[in-house]
Amino acid sequence: MATPNPMRNDLSSIKVAIHHKLIQKLDLERINQMDRNSVKIEVTEMVEALAAEENAPMTLTERERLSQEVLDEVFGLGPLEPLMKDHTISDILVNTYKNVYIERGGLLERTSASFRNDAHLMSIIDRIVSAVGRRIDESSPMVDARLADGSRVNAIIPPLSIDGPCLSIRRFGRDPLTATELVENDSLTARMVELLRGCVYSRLNCLVSGGTGAGKTTLLNVLSSFISNRERIVTVEDAAELQLHQDHVVRLETRPPNVEGKGAVRQRELVINCLRMRPDRIIVGEVRGEEALDMLQAMNTGHDGSLTTIHANSPRDALSRLETMVAMANLNIPDSAIRRQIASAIDIVVQVTRLSDGKRRVTNLAEVTGMEGEVVTMQDIFIYKKMGIGENGEVLGEFMPTGIRPKFAERLVTSGIHLPMEMFEHPSLSSVR
């Protein structure tokens, strides 16, 4: 009597064996020409036959799941497809074929998903980049792309990625978060939203600052939602991420160079071009280079009410980075002139931070007040004051006004925005009353 093979009795191992045989048997070129329903029928029949060969007691649900995995392999992103369908996931990070991590709720966690080998992962990367007319190989080992649902993709392969191909997918929800949802998530307070709404309505120029994954684009979406439906909005982005719902929106996106290294269209060219398109509002998804100069000049020459984001760790750092970016234009503008441009153009800086517990908070709402000598002056209107760390690792703190009434308050009043002045009072002063 033959000794039973424990591997054969391991259902998960049997399913892996069937999956591998299916991939080997499928004529992928022929299947790619077929419609999805026909492929599903054919794959299901093959699963039935292979399950019988393996003598595997698979349930109908398990066979359907295995069929779906093969369909994902043919039409989707293979092992990543279930993760793409989970809308609670904001980032999918593939660190070589063996390790797949996700970010959910601001925290990283490892998943059970994996690819068979480097070649399997490369086939998925090739499918992504070829769909947008790009290529990735040893001569061009880095690529940015965008999926059909708007998710942003970055891939990097050897020799630059030493241990194997790596893939990063930044996902965006089908419906962007609203101001109400941000308040419910404790990202900021209702009064801060009220102030920001007034700033956008009054056509103040707003700069959203924060680190990678801090929620800059999410907040920019919220701020842009306060723009009137009667205005013409032109957006400029390196990779289109903004989700505006106004009627009159023109979206511009940069273009990378072609295979011959030609044909690239940079953000600066798009910012210059959008000035000729009669915009009421200009929204630059992220200012990251020499286009900062053109953005500031636009803000200073009648295109007020503009919005943009920048990578920086504090409002002061944001202005310093702007200064550095303007210098990248190589126009030999004196530092003092650049700072005057910044002080004149930017009205308010909103700092977004991802805290150690994964939560995103608006930690500073600062006003640019002008110049003192050679220094751009600023003052905090609202801050998030950290109090400590809770037992479960949650960051404890509270939002509070600094007690300073912003200088732009008069501009809000002349625009018809009447905010209660007590909203700016420091809590200690309120308690005295």
Last residue of a domain, one of 34, 68, 102: 68
Q: Count Cβ atoms below 10 Å from residue 84 Cβ, excluding itself.
A: 17
Residue 75 domain flag: no
Q: Which of 70-79, 93-102, 111-120 is predicted most confidently?
A: 93-102
pLDDT at 269: 93
**Which sign does the torsion angle of CA 203, 209, 215, 217 carry?**
positive
Q: Are both 11 and 128 inside the same structural domain?
A: no
pLDDT at 10: 53
Cα distances (Å, whole numbers) of residue 32 to 74, 133, 145, 227: 7, 18, 22, 44
Q: Give the whole-angstrom CA distance, residue 178 versus residue 182.
A: 6
User: At 211, which amino acid appears?
Assistant: G
Q: Are both 144 and 27 inside the same structural domain?
A: no
Cα distances (Å, whole numbers) of residue 216 to 121, 148, 241: 30, 22, 11
Q: Are both 219 and 335 inside the same structural domain?
A: yes
pLDDT at 110: 94
Q: Are both 36 and 149 inside the same structural domain?
A: no
Q: Give the whole-angstrom CA distance, residue 48 versus residue 252.
A: 49
77-101 confidence digits (pLDDT tens): 888 988 988 888 989 999 999 999 9
Buried/exposed code over 47-59 (b: 16+ C-beta within 10 A; e: otherwise): beebbeebebebe
Cα distances (Å, whole numbers) of residue 334 to 162, 298, 330, 374: 43, 19, 11, 11
Residue 272 domain flag: yes
Report whether 73 contacts 23 (CB < 8 A). yes
All residues at 6 or more sequence positions from 36 whose CB lies less than 8 Å from its CB, including other chains: 71, 75
Q: Are both 342 and 215 inside the same structural domain?
A: yes
Angle (CA) 272-369-322 rounded to 5° is: 40
The burial of 293, by beta-carbon neighbours within 10 Å (0-12 exposed, 13-18 middle, 19 or more buried), is given as buried
Q: Are both 293 and 227 inside the same structural domain?
A: yes
Q: What is the mean pLDDT of residues 207-221?
A: 93
Q: What percent of the chain has pLDDT over 90?
A: 52
Q: Are both 128 and 223 inside the same structural domain?
A: no
pLDDT at 264: 85
pLDDT at 273: 94
Q: What is the CATH number of the domain that holds 183?
A: 3.40.50.300
Residue 57: pLDDT above 60?
yes
Residue 111: pLDDT above 50?
yes
Q: Are both 358 and 403 inside the same structural domain?
A: yes
pLDDT at 426: 80
Residue 1 domain flag: no
Last residue of a domain, one of 135, 170, 205: 170
Confidence of residue 286 (pLDDT cuts 50, 70, 90): very high
User: Residue 95: enclosing H or E segment and its boundaries?
Assistant: strand 89-95
Confidence of residue 5 (pLDDT cuts 50, 70, 90): very low
9-44 confidence digits (pLDDT tens): 455 566 666 666 666 666 655 655 666 677 677 777
pLDDT at 331: 83
- Please tell me the total count of domains within the chain: 3
pLDDT at 25: 66
DSSP track, 313-355: SSHHHHHHHHHHHHHTT-----HHHHHHHHHHH--EEEEEEE-
Q: What is the mean pLDDT of residues 390-414?
A: 92
Q: What is the CATH number of the domain that holds 115?
A: 3.30.450.370
Residue 73 domain flag: no
pTM confidence score: 0.80
Residue 90 domain flag: yes
Residue 159 domain flag: yes
Q: Are both 308 and 252 inside the same structural domain?
A: yes
pLDDT at 51: 67
Residue 394 domain flag: yes
Report whether 275 contacts 283 (CB < 8 A). no
Q: Give the whole-angstrom CA distance, residue 61 versus residue 50.
A: 16
Q: Are both 165 and 236 inside the same structural domain?
A: no
pLDDT at 282: 94
Q: Are both 372 and 224 inside the same structural domain?
A: yes
Q: What is the mean pLDDT of residues 230-234?
A: 94
Residue 74 domain flag: no
Q: Count Cβ atoms below 10 Å from residue 114 Cβ, excluding itself.
A: 15
Q: Give the whole-angstrom CA distance, residue 290 versus residue 232.
A: 25
Q: Give the whole-angstrom CA distance, residue 91 versus residue 106.
A: 9
Q: Are both 29 and 87 inside the same structural domain?
A: no
Q: Which of 12-21, 70-79, 419-428 is predicted most confidently?
A: 419-428
pLDDT at 2: 43
Average pLDDT of the chain?
Answer: 85
Q: Give the whole-angstrom CA distance, residue 388 versus residue 396.
A: 5
Residues of the domain holding 157: 80-170
Residues in a beta bridge with 353: 361
Residue 263: pLDDT above 80?
yes
Last residue of a domain, one of 118, 152, 170: 170
